[in-house]
Amino acid sequence: MKRTFDLEETRLRKEITKRGAKLILIQLPEGLKAEGPRLAAMAEEAGALAIVSADPCYGACDLVLADAESLGADIIIHYGHSFQIKQERVPTIYIEARAKISVKGAVKEAIPLLKHWSSIGLVTTVQHVHTLNEARELLIEAGKTVSIGDAGQAKYAGQVTGCDYSNARSISKEVDAFLFIGGGRFHAVGVALATAKPTIIADPYEKRAYPIRDEVQRILKQRWASISEAKKAEKFGVLIGLKSGQKKVEEAMEAKEKLEKKGKKTTLLALREITPETLMQFPPIDAFVNTACPRVSLDDASSFPKPVLTFEEMLVMVGEMSWEELCGKGWFGR
């Protein structure tokens, strides 16, 4: 069977042998979970007992550190993301799972959709960072000026993650629009929200290109409605994420202080998974401020019966930031 992603099986075996690992914990994002049994079998052939984490994995910020410690794992093999978190608790091997498909057709499909803009910012996920030079050449041949940001926090030039769009923001004043290379709308929506610039998707998996303006406008309207509704709330819950890369206790304390200055009653809540079911267990609370992953508030808003604001949206609500500033700066960090 032809595989879409490079899972670096040889490296997996070498790391196990080199480190003398006896027990490993394999962590995979949802799209690669099906490869778990095969990778576990390979690990066992290399001499290590392998356990596959069956829990959801939302990114490099979501390392299974506590689970690995509890199980006594010698190393974590983390698939699908690049290095993000500096930690010394459990040795972690990042296998980025680069895509093995061509982006040429999707980029060519995107060129007509970029006809109104001359300067294009090029962004992608770690799965396609090795294709950016090819995509840039195609755009230049089409008469475009191309910029690829390399001033952000991500590992590679042009790379974005679910909550880090610093590479895109670093060039947003230089470009008219962005072209995102990759599958789905998730990261492209983040680019549009973080930069306030038109964004086109070139999807190499579906071999097509399309804009996301309507979806971004829908989210903006939804976020304004959530802020407006939260202004009426008297009791707030401030959410502290317990995932390894999402724990922002100081930000949560700052949110609590700002809310209480406005006369709001505030409770700090710590949790690993932010779900409607979890928040519904606190019926006296009228609205929530999420200091963990901002994408929970942005992408899952319709699932929550009460407003779940990001920290920046809370600043708008209490009057410390304008809606225009929020839209201009984006939702992903101050």
pLDDT at 125 over 80: yes
pLDDT exceeds 60 at position 302: yes
Q: Are 292 and 299 in contact (CB under 8 A)?
A: no
Instruction: Show the domains of the chain with their CATH numbers.
Output: 5-97 (3.40.50.11840), 104-211 (3.40.50.11850), 218-329 (3.40.50.11860)
In the chain the beta strands, taken as DSSP E runs, fall at: 5-6, 23-27, 49-52, 75-79, 92-95, 98-99, 119-124, 145-147, 177-181, 199-203, 208-211, 235-241, 265-271, 287-290, 308-310
Give the C-alpha separation, 180 to 148, whole Å: 11
Give the pLDDT of residue 333.
60
- What pLDDT, on the 0 to 100 scale, is given for residue 87? 83
Q: What is the pLDDT of residue 300?
A: 80
Q: Which residue has the higher pLDDT, 331 or 323?
A: 323
What's at 250, amino acid-wise? E
Predicted local distance difference test score (pLDDT) of residue 314: 96
Q: pLDDT digit string (tens) for 213-223?
A: 999 999 999 99
State the average pLDDT over residues 175-191. 96
Q: Is 121 helix (H, G, I), strand (E, B) or coil?
A: strand
Percent of the chain at pLDDT exceeding 70: 98
- Is the per-residue pLDDT at 27 higher than 60? yes
Amino acid at 226: S
Beta-strand pair 287-290/308-310: parallel
Mean of pLDDT values over 200-204: 98
- Does the pLDDT value for residue 1 go beyond 60? no
CA–CA gap between residue 164 and residue 332 (Å, rounded): 7
With bands split at pLDDT 50, 70 and 90, how would you rate the model's confidence at 43? very high
Average pLDDT over residues 2-27: 94
Model confidence over 236-271: pLDDT tens digits? Answer: 999 999 988 888 999 999 999 999 999 999 999 999
What is the average per-residue pLDDT within 106-110?
98
- Lookup: tokens for 214: 């309507």
| pTM value surpassing 0.85 | yes
Q: In this predicted structure, what is the pLDDT of residue 84?
A: 81
CA–CA dist 92, 85 (Å, integer) = 10
* CA–centroid distance for 38 within its chain: 26
177-181 β-sheet, strand order: 145-147, 119-124, 177-181, 199-203, 208-211
61-96 pLDDT tens trace: 889 999 999 999 999 999 999 988 788 899 999 999
Residue 2's pLDDT is 60
User: At 276, which helix (H) or strand (E)?
Assistant: helix 276-279
Calculate the alpha carbon distances from 125 to 10, 98, 129, 168, 298 in Å.
23, 9, 6, 12, 19
Q: Which residues contact 250 (CB under 8 A, 6 or more apart)?
A: none
- d(CA 169, CA 226) in angstroms, rounded, equals 25
* 252, 238 contact by CB (below 8 A): yes
Q: Helix, strand, coil shares of the chain as percentages rounded to 5? A: 40, 20, 40
Given a cut of 80, whether residue 7 has pLDDT beyond it is yes
AA letter at 198: P
What is the predicted pLDDT for the residue at 186?
Answer: 92
| Cα 4 to Cα 13: distance, rounded to the nearest angstrom | 20
Q: Find, among 36, 83, 214, 202, the residue nearest to 132 by Cα.
A: 202
pLDDT at 91: 95
Between CA 74 and CA 296 the distance in angstroms is 31
